[in-house]
Amino acid sequence: MQQFEFPDISRILTPILERHGGDASRLLQVLLEVQDVCHFIPSEAIDLIAAHFGVPRVNVEGVVGFYSFLSTHSVGEYRLLFSGNITDQMLGKDELMQYLCNKLWVEPGKVSEDGLVSIGSTSCTGMCDQGPAALINGWPLTKLDHNRLDLIAELIRSRKPVADWPAMLFEVVDNIHRGDVLLGQPFEPGAAIRATLARGAKETLVEVDKSNLRGRGGAGFKTASKWSFCHATIAEEEGGVICDIDGHPERFIVCNADEGEPGTFKDRVLLNSYADLVFEGMTVGARVVGASKGFLYLRGEYRYLLQQLEAVLKCRREAGLLGETILGQMDFSFDIEIHLGAGAYICGEESALIESLEGKRGRPRNRPPFPVTYGYKGRPTVVDNVETFACAAKIAEKGGAWFAAIGTAQSTGTKLISVSGDVARPGIYEYPFGVTVSQILDDCGAEGRPYAVQVSGPSGTTISWKEFERKIAFEDLPTAGALMVFRRKRDLFQVAQNFADFFAHESCGFCTPCRVGTELQKKIMSKIASGYGTASDLEELKRLGHILKTMSHCGLGSSAANPVLDILEKFPDMVESKLKAFAFKPAFDLDGALATARTITGRDDDWAHL
Amino acid sequence: MSKTITIDGLAVPFQEGQTIMDAALASGVYIPHLCHNPEFKPHGSCKLCTVNVNGRNVASCTMPAVEGQQVLSDIAELNADRLALTQMLFVEGNHLCPACEKTGNCQLQAVAYYLGMMSPHYNHFYPQREADASHPDVMLDRNRCIYCELCVRASREVDGKNVFGLSGRGIKTLLVVNSASGLLGDTDLAVTDKAAHVCPTGAILIKRHGYAVPIGQRVFDHITIKDVQTGGGDE
């Protein structure tokens, strides 16, 4: 293809490949670096990388094709991706993107003719409290407005390296408005590990059990059960037990920091300012299940945190809290490696995350077996959310009873809520479980009378103003942590359409119902939005929703219809007002079909229309 | 001592390690499927074989059989959903049954017959997908690919070659081949490879064999896919 541009591809690749060694699970990490240097993955690079890792070329190509941030064609020296979440859209994302496109003479989604710049959209970048946001070559830009875009256009035109751009463009703040046991209390690094060692691993598992801690990623599986399943499983191969070099059975601890659910950004804050707490929770988990190796799977959008997270890990190694013989304990070695994602929401699903960790396409596995028995490289693996590990560290330090006393019976402890949308104070709020939605709305200064709230992102629940007394808890409204607020007059159909587009874009494509169903849903929503919808389309949406929910391979597909079904049920008037007629109407627009001809001929007079 | 599960009220024996699909096929019970082929490791992507086990929907080709499972399969609701999935497979690609060399021998078409599909129901996507005629003996037409990965599995597991793979994501998923040019002719695929013969649709065709068996005398012109796959049509 563009081979003439890269005659020295092996010179570029050699240092990258040497740095990563020969383990094919590093494949995605290598590809990210190649993308960085070349602005795409040249065909020759795929050959060389495949040869280096001893895997078929087709596997490497499959990985490149799967992840949004990798590309087989050039995406420009400067690649600007606007965050496409509904909250960014409400803050003017579409208009701002067009503004920048006009300034730089480039069409959205395309590369400028000189190959300098491309401008497009990406899924939520996790900056909803300081949007509209974007990524420039992977680095987050926040609080975009015309002034900032003028400056950015100038920086791009003068070809100034992104590393030399003014720091204020990249400023990401925590916006913590309410803290409780995680965010509001000091933590001494090492305190939880010391308590664990003093108490014993088994006894610590008893404390985690007593705390009734449930996973904070949304599904709410009991953490102690997951840990004890993993501990009980001994990986067998050819009749023998797989052990590491010290004779311990091989198990893994994985921290899921692929915070891709639109509207969620609590893990970003935990990793930015409470990384010690998170890593400590992983280390406690490692002691309990007997793991010697851990991974932090960091979403590509948060790569700006990578360097400082590595620095925290280094500090912890120096303090004897990670590495060999932790705190002098001869039989306790554990270290953490950070893997970067590359723009795939599905990798937040634990088995897809493990596939991605292994350097493959992020496709959810068939279950059973579950990761606790057959996870990373076939070994027992615990995958928990960032916040779950932070809670585990606190429990190890202060005991299970202390934690269980907070929150509700089924939902103990506190929950970090990422609040965005039509509110005066977007940001992070930590509450004991059981808090009502209306309490949160009061605290964050929801403007006027909020109309609807999206709880737990697109895959969660849309609630109307009639339901604001409902409680955030597994008993009522479970949440991974997002709360998007919509004031009266917001077009909720547009909200649901944004979410439908999101799911179609993020479906991994493995199973029929999700691959085709999300796309059909997107097309029908678009048909209604453009004024061609009829009552039969609503029936079709319900029927599709049923198939997505009951036939899909994983949680993405089974929740992809939630926002659409919720607005059909809770805001029927809003949807029906969009319909053109109740009888069937085709989506085909004869006049619209002439638009291309009008563009080509430069005509827009009456005779050019039907 | 054999264990049993119940499929639609019928007691079906199974051995440890078998999936629900394995047990069903061994007992002559047909569960519609496309990505499953007993010769290969189960995949679970087409979801046509979804059954209801103790109240939950699962893919029967990947779900291990467990003593006492109550399985519902041949029921109106599931068959309606299977029909919808089959229609989805038809509209996402470009299927030209009347003109396709595979007609009458095509499993996708046969499943559609079996489920009583009378129309595509959904609007066609009309995707632009490339056909590849570069190989001297084998034709690859991505228009008819349903991403069952049987060719991927066959090439990897039987031929030891890795000729095929998937790239892209979501509705943009794409069948790719193992060559820098992206052309089938530049891979080491041989016409004798298993991978060249497992395609359940007309996406991979052997050249110069067109209409060797006349239309009207082909497999599914005479017996249903149910009878073919459970051995019921031989009597």
Please report which confidence band the pLDDT of residue A249 belongs to, taking 50, 70 and 90 as the band edges.
low
Please report which confidence band the pLDDT of residue A593 belongs to, taking 50, 70 and 90 as the band edges.
confident
How many angstroms from the chain centroid is the CA of residue A187? 27
Q: Which residue of B has its CA nearest to A62?
A: B167
The closest alpha carbon to A138, from A342, A440, A318, A444, belongs to A342
Would you identify the CATH topology of the domain B98-228? Alpha-Beta Plaits (3.30.70)
B36–chain A nearest CA distance, Å: 13
Computed over every residue of chain A, the mean pLDDT equals: 94
| CB contact at 8 A, A340 and A347 | no
pLDDT value of position A240: 45
Which residues of chain A does B59 touch, with a Cβ-Cβ cutoff of 8 Å?
366, 553
The closest alpha carbon to A82, from A71, A70, A67, A92, belongs to A92
Q: Which residue of A has its CA nearest to B122?
A: A520
**pLDDT tens, residue by residue, A496-535:** 999 999 999 999 999 999 999 999 999 999 999 999 899 9
- The CA distance from B146 to B130, in Å, is 14
**pLDDT tens, residue by residue, A427-472:** 999 999 999 999 999 999 997 789 999 999 999 999 999 999 999 9
- Residues of chain B with pLDDT below 50 are 234-235
> What phi, psi does A395 have (nearest 5°)?
-65, -45
A457 touches chain B (CB under 8 A): no
pLDDT value of position A219: 86
Of A57, A516, A550, the CB nearest to B171: A516
pLDDT value of position B90: 98
Q: Tell me, yes or no, if the two domains B3-74 and B98-228 fold the same way.
A: no
Is pLDDT above 70 for A584? no
Is pLDDT above 90 for A317? yes
Buried/exposed code over B4-22 (b: 16+ C-beta within 10 A; e: otherwise): bbebeeeebebeeebbbbb
Q: Region of A384 please: left (phi>0), alpha (psi -120 to 50) or beta.
A: beta
Which residues of chain A does B47 touch, with a Cβ-Cβ cutoff of 8 Å?
511-513, 551-553
ipTM surpasses cut 0.95: yes
- Give the dihedral sign, CA A120/A264/A273/A338: negative
Q: Count other Cβ atoms within 10 Å, centred on residue B106.
A: 25
Amino acid at A484: M
Percent of chain A topping pLDDT 90? 88
**pLDDT tens, residue by residue, A28-75:** 999 999 999 999 999 999 999 999 999 999 999 999 999 999 999 999
**pLDDT tens, residue by residue, B210-223:** 889 999 999 999 99
pLDDT value of position B178: 98
- The CA distance from B98 to A234, in Å, is 55
Q: Do A66 and B168 lie within an 8 Å CB cutoff?
A: yes
| CB contact at 8 A, A514 and A482 | no
Architecture of domain B3-74: Roll (3.10)
How many C-alpha atoms does A296 have within 13 Å on its Cβ side? Answer: 29
Q: Do B170 and A509 lie within an 8 Å CB cutoff?
A: yes
Q: Which residue of B has its CA nearest to A552?
A: B47
DSSP β-bridge partners for residue B165: B176
Ordered domains of chain A (ranges, CATH)? 9-66 (no CATH), 78-162 (3.40.30.10), 188-236+243-404 (3.40.50.11540), 416-490 (3.10.20.600), 501-576 (1.20.1440.230)
pLDDT value of position B235: 43
Please report which confidence band the pLDDT of residue A245 belongs to, taking 50, 70 and 90 as the band edges.
very low
Q: Which residue has the higher pLDDT, B176 or A4?
A: B176
pLDDT value of position B159: 97
Q: Do A62 and B85 lie within an 8 Å CB cutoff?
A: no
pLDDT value of position B164: 98
Which residues of chain B does A520 touch, with a Cβ-Cβ cutoff of 8 Å?
88, 122
Helices (H), A233-291: 266-273, 275-289
**pLDDT tens, residue by residue, A150-164:** 999 999 999 999 999
Domain boundaries, chain B: 3-74, 98-228
pLDDT value of position A65: 97
| CB contact at 8 A, A90 and A492 | no
Is pLDDT above 90 for A247? no
A596–chain B nearest CA distance, Å: 19
DSSP state at residue A366: P
Which residues of chain B does A44 touch, with a Cβ-Cβ cutoff of 8 Å?
180
pLDDT value of position B1: 59
Taking residues A254-281, report their average pLDDT. 98
Q: Which residue of A has its CA nearest to B166?
A: A62
| CB contact at 8 A, A376 and A233 | no
